[in-house]
Amino acid sequence: MPDAIVSEMTIIYLMLVYPKETIGKVMEKLNEEDFVDAKNREIFAAIRDLYLIENKEIIDVGMLKDKLEKRGTFEKIGGYDYLYQIIEKFYSEASTIDYHINILIEKSIYRKVIETSKTIIREAEKQERKANELLDFAEARILEIRDRGIRKGFTNLLEIIEEHENEIIEKANKRSSVIGLPSGISFLDNLTGGFLPGNLIIIASRPSVGKTSFALFIHRYLSVEKNEATAIFSLEMSANELAQRFISMQSNVSNMKIRTGSINLEEFAKIIEAIGKLKESAPLWIDDSSSSLLEIKAKARRVVRENKVKLITIDYLQLIELEPHERKRRESRQQEIAFITRNLKNFAKELNIPIIVLSQLSRKAEERADKKPQLSDLRESGSIEQDADIVVLLYRTKDDSQRIIGVNVAKNRNGPIGEDTLIFESSVFRFTTMMQDDLETPSLEDIPFE
């Protein structure tokens, strides 16, 4: 397997001789699996613990010896003889650290590609997966290697300002409060300014409140009204079910009537007109066959690259699965969800588009008198709240008709938070604004920031 043992030992030498200049860089860009030699890997792990856990900025041979003894590996690595061998034979200047780090990263990527290729070959030989599923599996594994190979450092603020100067001027000239992708729901757009590239948006509710319909309403608006291509990963409903919902939404004909075929001539004409309108609109891509995070990311990259998709929705978070090797690293479902949400936030930044993720709420909200959910009700992990840029909580109000849906923007990283109510026409999956004066959205000046 590809290796760079000399660079491994040179990096250890530099961390011991020039700790202030090198350890920070090494810890930022390398991990244990980047070291092939078991002794070097163990030394790296000991230095990492001293630096990151015990906050030691300067690490000498004596400190390293004590740490290795506590880990029970000092004799295994060859004791003082091996450490002094490194110090005496691998002289180098601190300025060479980036060179040796890059060599280790490159060799590590080569090894991962070889190992992954062998796995893909084994899967192909088994012939247990369908051909398309195998291709998605292979693409996901290769892209996972690329993700781990990207280690971006600091960027100077002036460079960022220069890159975004024209964008800032363009937004200022628009003189609009909506600078991102609009949702078609004025209250939400006024608070958020639209969904911005890199945003992770969580839309959460208890079952059967309407979170899927809420997301579909946004997709239909972007596709039909704004001519923007979007994509949906449906882990619960089939593509056929979603397509039927879009037809019902666009035609304003009851979904139940469409399902049963009990429609009159006027409704039939509306359906045909709606189908024609949907055909003319920007493409809306649906995938109902993916469940693993890797597979979703692989397909998402492709649809964004090939079809210029501007928004992705995943329905829903608690159904996303991790690959077996990732699942083994985590002790609970809470840790898995935390890994998934952090991964999706980084993925939104990588794709430079907003990603909407639907999520379940716990039963706690139903136990309250007003039924209003809180951020703490997000099911299975507080990391959902932490990683999200925007969190929208949906709930049924006490209204007897069960048509009034409360919409609570409970978190808005870059703007104010607030609440409003919408009428939910569940038979056609449409949301409309309440018209009563006492339910009008308050002025932005009166809404507290998060």
- Tens-place pLDDT, residues 135-178: 878 887 887 777 665 555 566 667 666 666 666 666 556 556 67
Minimal CA–CA distance to 384: which of 120, 114, 202? 202
- Please count the other Cβ atoms lying within 10 Å of the Cβ belonging to residue 388: 26
| 3-state SS, residue 393 | strand
120 near 138, Cβ under 8 Å?
yes
CA distances to 28, 41, 197, 252 from 33, rounded to whole Å, are 14, 8, 33, 56
pLDDT, mean of residues 260-281? 87
Taking CA 416 as the corner, what is the angle to CA 370 and CA 317, rounded to the nearest 5 degrees? 65
Domain-embedded: residue 158? no
Q: What percent of the chain has pLDDT over 90?
A: 25
The predicted pLDDT at position 170 comes to 62
| 3-state SS, residue 430 | strand
Residue 251 has pLDDT above 80, yes or no: yes
pLDDT, mean of residues 91-103? 90
Confidence of residue 215 (pLDDT cuts 50, 70, 90): very high
- The range of the structural domain enclosing residue 411 comes to 177-446
Residues 418-440 as b or e (16 or more Cβ within 10 Å = b): bbbbbebbeebbbbeebeeeeee
Cα distance between residue 211 and residue 247, in whole Å: 18
The enclosing H or E element of 234 equals: strand 230-234
CATH code of 394's domain: 3.40.50.300
The predicted pLDDT at position 333 comes to 80
pLDDT, mean of residues 231-251? 89
pLDDT, mean of residues 54-76? 88
Residue 447 has pLDDT above 80, yes or no: no
Candidate list 28, 33, 236, 450, residue with the active-site label:
236
pLDDT single digits (tens) 306-345? 889 999 999 888 888 887 777 777 777 888 888 888 889 9
Q: Are residues 3 and 148 in the same domain?
A: yes
- Please count the other Cβ atoms lying within 10 Å of the Cβ belonging to residue 5: 13
Tell me, yes or no, if 115 is annotated catalytic: no
Residue 445 has pLDDT above 70, yes or no: no
What phi and psi values does residue 200 have, to the nearest 5 degrees? -110, 115
CATH code of 131's domain: 1.10.860.10
Domain-embedded: residue 166? no
151-165, 219-233, 241-255: range with lowest mean pLDDT = 151-165
116 near 148, Cβ under 8 Å?
no
Q: Are residues 196 and 137 in the same domain?
A: no
27-31, 94-98, 199-203: range with lowest mean pLDDT = 27-31
What is the number of domains present in the chain? 2
pLDDT single digits (tens) 353-395? 999 999 988 877 777 766 788 888 886 666 788 888 999 999 8
385 near 375, Cβ under 8 Å?
yes
Q: Are residues 133 and 219 in the same domain?
A: no
pLDDT, mean of residues 297-301? 85
Q: Are residues 182 and 102 in the same domain?
A: no
Domain-embedded: residue 163? no
Q: Are residues 354 and 290 in the same domain?
A: yes
380 near 338, Cβ under 8 Å?
no
Q: Which residue has the tokens 């309108």?
A: 277
The predicted pLDDT at position 314 comes to 94
CA distances to 165, 172, 176, 285, 301 from 168, rounded to whole Å, are 5, 6, 12, 31, 27
Cα distance between residue 317 and residue 334, in whole Å: 12
Cα distance between residue 86 and residue 84, in whole Å: 5
Q: How far apart are the first and last CA of the chain?
A: 51
Q: Are residues 235 and 122 in the same domain?
A: no
Domain-embedded: residue 168? no
Q: Are residues 195 and 342 in the same domain?
A: yes
Residues 6+ apart with CB under 8 A from 18: 94, 97
Q: Are residues 55 and 189 in the same domain?
A: no
More confident position, 120 or 294: 120
Q: Indicate the DSSP class of residue 361.
A: B
The predicted pLDDT at position 207 comes to 85
Pure H helices in 221-353? 239-251, 255-260, 265-280, 293-307, 324-328, 333-351
